[in-house]
Amino acid sequence: MPGSFLTTRLEAMLGWGRSYSLFQYPFITACCGMEYMSAACAHFDMDRFGAGLTRFSPRQADMLLVVGTITHKLAPVLKTVYDQMVEPRWVVAFGACTVSGGIYDNYAVVQGIDRIIPVDVYIPGCPPRPETVLDGLIKLQEKIKREGKDWRWKRTSS
Ligand code: SF4
């Protein structure tokens, strides 16, 4: 309306903008990928949440979606992809295998990707339903809004 104005904090504005312009890097290794496709396609449509565009270069992505079983052999690749992403960046563990190793409680599988890289949101399920994926995405957006400009410069992977 003419003559009206809006006040906010810079942190709140940055957080709001970032939360609705997520560029995802899907790191898909196993069967959870089918549910990722369901969540991303037209019926559930992640694009409604500003997270529809995939980037297959880590340097162009700010949300790493880790989808499927991560073996110890694959772990260094995941770590390299994470290290190549610039700040601010966020990580989503998609499905039981990435959260905890899932049904693969054995020597070959990483028992949770948070042993390799920091995780912002955990999405449970084997596989998670698309509604659960969208719920995880909304939780990540809420977290990004709260972070504002105080993102994770200090938080580096080990
Ligand atoms: S959580 Fe279940 S569906 Fe997903 S990758 Fe692991 S075994 Fe497959």
Q: Is the pLDDT assigned to residue 3 strictly greater than 90?
A: no
Is the pTM above the cut of 0.85? yes
Query: What's the pLDDT tens digit per position in 95-104?
Result: 999 999 999 9
List the residue whose alpha carbon is closest to atom 2 of ligand 1: 126
Q: Tell me the CA–centroid distance for residue 17 and ligand 1, in Å.
A: 32
Per the structure, the count of domains in the chain is 1
In this structure, is residue 36 part of a structural domain? yes
Ligand 1 first shell, C-beta below 6 A: 30-32, 68-69, 95-97, 102-103, 126-127
In this structure, is residue 77 part of a structural domain? yes
Copy the structure tokens of residue 20: 């609705």
| Range of weakest confidence among 79-88, 131-140, 143-152 | 143-152
In this structure, is residue 153 part of a structural domain? no
Q: Tell me the CA–centroid distance for residue 122 and ligand 1, in Å.
A: 14
How far is the CA of 63 from the CAs of 24, 50, 113, 137, in angstroms? 5, 12, 15, 10
Query: What's the pLDDT tens digit per position in 55-92?
Result: 989 999 999 999 999 999 999 999 999 999 999 999 99
Backbone angles phi, psi at 90, to 5 degrees: -135, 150
Q: Tell me the CA–centroid distance for residue 95 and ligand 1, in Å.
A: 6
Compute the distance between CA of residue 129 and CA of residue 120 in angstroms, rounded to an integer.
19
Q: Tell me the CA–centroid distance for residue 7 and ligand 1, in Å.
A: 46
In this structure, is residue 16 part of a structural domain? no
CATH of the domain at 69: 3.40.50.12280
Q: What percent of the chain has pLDDT over 90?
A: 70
Owning domain of residue 67: 23-147
Q: Where are the alpha helices (DSSP H) in 3-125?
A: 10-19, 32-40, 75-84, 96-100
Q: Is the pLDDT assigned to residue 50 strictly greater than 50?
A: yes
